[in-house]
Amino acid sequence: MDIEKILEENNVLKTGHFLLSSGLHSAKYFEKFRILENPELVVMFGKMIAEYYKNKGISIVCGPTTGGVIIAYEVARQMGLKCIFAESKPPEAGRVIRRGFTIPEGAKILVVDDILTTGGSIKETLDALKSFPGKVIGISVLIDRSSEAIKFNEMVPEAEFFACYKMAVKNYEPNNCSLCKVNIPLQAPGRGGKK
């Protein structure tokens, strides 16, 4: 299966000059909502993740809001498991698991998110899980676009990582961006900016 082609055909993977939510610039951008709005694609990626973890004894799936929940829910559906989520709690930082969600003693937890860039939302989810029983044994994402290996192992030493698709994307500081230097127009996707 040519995932890169699927991502391009569905306007998920874009090439140009983009302002990321981190403030950095990049020549590639993944518009995750072109996946999340499409149940067929969510089912397809959910299947890759469910297949990968199918013999690992997972007992519950957990994802961070907003996009992570949609993928986590589909993975849980395919694995016949329950799905819970970790939500942000503004104005405080971090995430919290509430809504009466419980995790049984000894549960093996799979954390699922949409796109891995800095690992922030997954680390917040791992933090929120600390006050619950069970052990995180898997961390999975649709797309890993991080340019360096993100270390979750310090937090969850036994967790096995799986990404449906990986592309190491170089990010530039705005004051030292090779795309700015050649005057390619900067786009701000996901901020309601220019297309």
8 Å CB contact between 73 and 63 = yes
Which of 3, 12, 25, 107 is the binder for Zn ion (CB under 5 A)?
25
Smallest gap from Cβ 185 to Zn ion, in A, equals 10
Measured from the CB atom, the residue of 167 and 180 that comes closer to Zn ion is 180
Q: Is 177 in the site for Zn ion (CB under 5 A)?
A: yes
The 125-164 contact track toward Zn ion, x by CB under 5 A, reads ----------------------------------------
* Structure tokens belonging to residue 50: 């469910």
Q: Which residue is nearest to Zn ion (CB)?
A: 177
Return the residue of 135, 179, 187, 188 that touches Zn ion, per CB under 5 A: 179
Among 180, 187, 188, 190, binds Zn ion (CB under 5 A): 180
Closest approach, Cβ 34 to Zn ion, in A, equals 23
Please tell me whether residue 123 binds Zn ion under the rule CB under 5 A.
no
Question: Binding segment for Zn ion among 21-29, 68-76, 125-133, 148-156 (CB under 5 A)?
Answer: 21-29
Residue 95 touching Zn ion (CB under 5 A): no
The piece of 32-40, 45-53, 101-109, 174-182 that touches Zn ion (CB under 5 A) is 174-182
Q: What is the length of the chain?
A: 195
Which two tokens mark 190?
């996901």
Q: Are the C-beta atoms of residues 189 and 18 closer than 8 Å to each other?
A: yes
Residues that bind Zn ion (CB under 5 A): 25, 177, 179-180
